[in-house]
Amino acid sequence: MLENAIRKLAKTIEAQNIFCSCKELSSLKLFDNDKDLSRIQQMYLSFLFFYYNLNVDVSLKKVSEIIFSSEIYEDAYSYYKREKIEESKGKKERDIHLVFKKKQKRKK
């Protein structure tokens, strides 16, 4: 229940604006404390990043605003995006490996 409330808070325009401002202005702080982040603070930070990334994709028109109508949509899209990134990373690593192997064969 608390997690839902924190997620809801991180999703608000106000929270997202403050988060973006904090990224630009180091004098602006999200929390009273600088260290010893509590579980709710860590959770809040991760949701702020989560919604920041979704907002970026919506503004770049990679996905429509309909995504914000359901948390299931939000989670599924983020999962899909992460998996695609992992897949392309894996492909890159395999390509590098292949190039390296070909070079080694040529040397022999």
Partner 1 sequence: MEDKILRIEEATKMAKDLNDKYELDHISEMVKTNTITFSFKDKEYRIRLLNQKEKDELDLFRRRKFGELLQDKNILFSAELIRLYKEKGIDIEEEIDNKVKKIILQLNDKRMKLGEALEKKDPESILKTYADEIEEIENEIGGLTIQKSNLLENSFEKTLENQVIKCLAYLSLEIKINEEFSRAYNKIEDFLKVDEELISKTITYAMAINYRA
What is the contact surface with partner 1 in residues (CB under 8 A)? 2, 5-6, 8-9, 12, 15, 30-33, 36-42, 44, 62-64, 66-67, 70, 72-73, 75-81, 83
Query: Are the beta carbons of 74 and 67 closer than 8 angstroms?
Result: yes
10 to 7, 66, 101: CA distances (angstroms): 5, 18, 47
Nearest distance from residue 65's CB to partner 1, in Å? 11
Nearest distance from residue 7's CB to partner 1, in Å? 10
DSSP structure string for 75-90: HHHHHHHHHHHHHHHH
Residue with Cβ nearer partner 1 (40 or 56): 40
Nearest distance from residue 97's CB to partner 1, in Å? 25
